Amino acid sequence: MYQDKTLTCKDCGQDFIFSASEQEFYASKGFENEPGRCPACRSARKQQRGVASTGQRTRQMFDAVCSQCGASTQVPFRPTGEKPVYCRDCFQARKQA
């Protein structure tokens, strides 16, 4: 069974609790290492790397016009004009076909 542990943050040097439930979560995900940073420093580091609080990367979006229906859309890559660009609906329809 897991027990709360006190760890020291490698960025700020403050002690923080690595709770039993966090340890269980880490084990369920297959993470072998304990966190090296406190929650505040982890959060700050994620923001610096462009990761939202949901854990997903915040992507830069680019304006484009759908090659199929002509609708204005945004895509997570810079369109070069070499390949067609599709809006979400047209992309999904092509993917299913």
Do residue 44 and residue 9 come from a single domain?
Answer: yes
> Is the model's pLDDT at 57 over the cut of 70?
no
Is residue 56 included in any domain, yes or no?
Answer: no
- Tell me the C-alpha distance between 13 and 45, whole Å: 15
Do residue 20 and residue 44 come from a single domain?
Answer: yes
**Residue-number span of the structural domain to which 43 is assigned:** 5-49
Is residue 57 included in any domain, yes or no?
Answer: no
- Tell me the C-alpha distance between 21 and 30, whole Å: 14
> Is the model's pLDDT at 62 over the cut of 70?
yes
> Is the model's pLDDT at 7 over the cut of 90?
yes
Is residue 16 included in any domain, yes or no?
Answer: yes
Do residue 10 and residue 34 come from a single domain?
Answer: yes
> Is the model's pLDDT at 53 over the cut of 70?
no
Do residue 45 and residue 9 come from a single domain?
Answer: yes
Is residue 37 included in any domain, yes or no?
Answer: yes
Q: How many residues does the chain have?
A: 97
Answer yes or no: are the C-beta atoms of 16 and 34 closer than 8 Å: no
In the chain, the number of structural domains is 2
Number of H helices, E strands in the chain: 3, 4
> Is the model's pLDDT at 72 over the cut of 70?
yes
Do residue 68 and residue 44 come from a single domain?
Answer: no
Q: What is the mean pLDDT of residues 1-10?
A: 94
Confidence band for 56, pLDDT divided at 50, 70 and 90: low
> Is the model's pLDDT at 69 over the cut of 80?
yes
